[in-house]
Structure 1
Amino acid sequence: MTMNENKLAIDTFGNVAEVMNAPGEGDTVELERHLAEKRLQLAALEGAETMARARLQLDIAELLRSLERKEEAWSLAREAFDASLEKESWQDAVEACNVLFQTEQAESIPALGMGVWLAVTFPVDPELTYAMLDHIVDETPTASDGAALAAVTARYVIDLRAPDDKHESQSLLANNLIARVAARHSNVQDQQALDAWMNELGLRDPQVFLPRLGQVVNAVVGDAWWFDRDALRDRLPD
């Protein structure tokens, strides 16, 4: 399958930015209330099934991150990641990497790279995969090809995995991401220029762009891998 089969229809080259504001006093009280409830639920699960605990840990980590208690959030999300990886719960492992990235700790960027590797390699929800690849776009310098590789991979994954009732909306989201990247990378402003840009960068064929994305992920993670990729590949579903 190549990207030629899915011609990109670009209406605008705008970008909708989500502005994340720090919680106000009322919001903080509500977040603290939810946090206390989740902690009680976690305590009640002592000795319970591993993934039930891991998912609660992720909920708590999200609340802690929102409360700017990012070191605490990192610790819990890291535990949840380890448990998810052990149980081959790839979706939860990627969710954990998403939280770890957003805690802005020393290893947050490698966590993002590992989350992208898992999200692309395993059959993870395409919306979550898109979110992880969008982080790569945001973290990649304007002139680098890495953002283009991430954006086109997001579209490719959506084509493979999105259910029929969500494929159109998710594809539009990915197309807009590709357009945004093309505009900032090479000042692409119309469909003809976009087609030429994609051809020039080899963004039509997954056998070309996926290995190149792998190189980007290797650069992002460096020598900080928390797992053996070859061993995990052996656990891929048939």
Structure 2
Amino acid sequence: MKYLQTETVLGDNECSDDAIESSALIELRIHELQDRIDALAPDAPREERYRLILDRTYALLQVNRFEEAWEAAHAILLPAIEAQLWMHAVECCDILFQAERDDSIKALAHGIWLGVTFPVDPELSVAMLQHLIDESPDRSDGAAVAAAAANYIVDLRAEGERREQLKFFAAQLLGSVARRHSQVEEQDIFDFWVQQLELDDPVKFLPRLAKVLDIITGGDWWFDRDALRAQIPQE
């Protein structure tokens, strides 16, 4: 799965020579993607241009060029939202979070809001929620509602073979949070824990997730959420 990988590219290498070679290959890909961006016609679809920019920016993260990654993703975040390219917008927030800047945690909150609100790839939405879980203290209720939201999104959006993979991953995520939160190990205690925290009812846990995101942003949102809610696709 693309977004849920936890190991870095260099961490998979067996020796320093392999790491140097991998870095060289990534730098080559960065240059190739920039050439493709430069070759685009001025009237090329924004979706095509942003896809290439995001691919290049993810590559920049792999070689620790965080400042460049931040600038590139930040430049297209609001234009992507304006164009209703929700997937691209969430990826921008993912990159901004991984770029390790002062506002990175705020960017994560924006990405989670977009990833939960709009029907983007469930794997990406779950990855954003996983970031929040990883950043949360062990006994945090915020981690619990994030894990519950991950399971809800998978159940709602995932299809085909990926559905079973993502359902397993999200279930493991919730189980891990239960152990961190309350040392839960047994199934009957887990079921009680879920009910006690109302993690089986999206009407209850989604507003709690929204409050967590408000706290993270300090109320300083980069876009008008009410205006964006009006653009939610109607079934």
TM-score of the aligned structures, taking structure 1 as reference length: 0.89
- Post-superposition offset of 1:166: 2.5
What secondary structure, in the 3-state scheme, does the structure 2 residue paired with 1:172 have?
A: helix
Structure ranking higher on relative contact order (CA contacts 8 Å, 6+ apart):
1
- Choose the corresponding residue for 2:40, options 31, 45, 51: 45
For 1:121, the equivalent position in structure 2 comes to 117
For 2:14, the equivalent position in structure 1 comes to none
* Contact 1:149/1:203 (<8 A) preserved: yes
Aligned pairs for 1:169-188 (under 5 A) are 169-188=165-184
2:25 pairs with 1:30: yes
Deviation string, structure 1 residues 96-149 (Cα, Å, up to 9, x no partner): 111111111121111100000001011111111110110110011111100000
For 2:162, the equivalent position in structure 1 comes to 166
What secondary structure, in the 3-state scheme, does the structure 2 residue paired with 1:20 have?
A: coil
Counterparts of 1:223 and 1:104 in 2: how far apart (Å)?
A: 21
For 2:206, the equivalent position in structure 1 comes to 210
Deviation string, structure 1 residues 157-184 (Cα, Å, up to 9, x no partner): 1111111433222111111000000001
Counterparts of 1:228 and 1:161 in 2: how far apart (Å)?
A: 25
Aligned pairs for 1:1-238 (under 5 A) are 18-20=6-8, 22=10, 24-47=19-42, 48-238=44-234
Question: Which amino acid is 1:19 matched to?
Answer: E
* Contact 2:10/2:22 (<8 A) preserved: no
* Contact 2:129/2:146 (<8 A) preserved: yes
For 1:9, the equivalent position in structure 2 comes to none
Counterparts of 2:228 and 2:34 in 1: how far apart (Å)?
A: 32
- Post-superposition offset of 1:83: 2.2
Counterparts of 2:7 and 2:35 in 1: how far apart (Å)?
A: 31
What secondary structure, in the 3-state scheme, does the structure 2 residue paired with 1:88 have?
A: coil
Question: Which amino acid is 2:7 matched to?
Answer: V
Counterparts of 2:218 and 2:52 in 1: how far apart (Å)?
A: 30
Question: Which amino acid is 2:134 matched to?
Answer: D
Question: Which amino acid is 1:88 matched to?
Answer: Q
* Contact 1:54/1:83 (<8 A) preserved: no
Counterparts of 1:32 and 1:186 in 2: how far apart (Å)?
A: 44
Task: Among all aligned residue pairs of Structure 1 and Structure 2, give the percentage whose two residues are the same amino acid.
Answer: 43
Q: How many residues in Structure 1 have an aligned counterpart in Structure 2?
A: 223
Question: Which amino acid is 1:20 matched to?
Answer: T
Deviation string, structure 1 residues 56-80 (Cα, Å, up to 9, x no partner): 1111111111111101000111122
* Contact 1:51/1:83 (<8 A) preserved: no
- Where structure 2 has 5 or more consecutive residues not aligned to the other structure, the ranges are 12-18
- Post-superposition offset of 1:17: 8.6
- Where structure 1 has 5 or more consecutive residues not aligned to the other structure, the ranges are 1-15
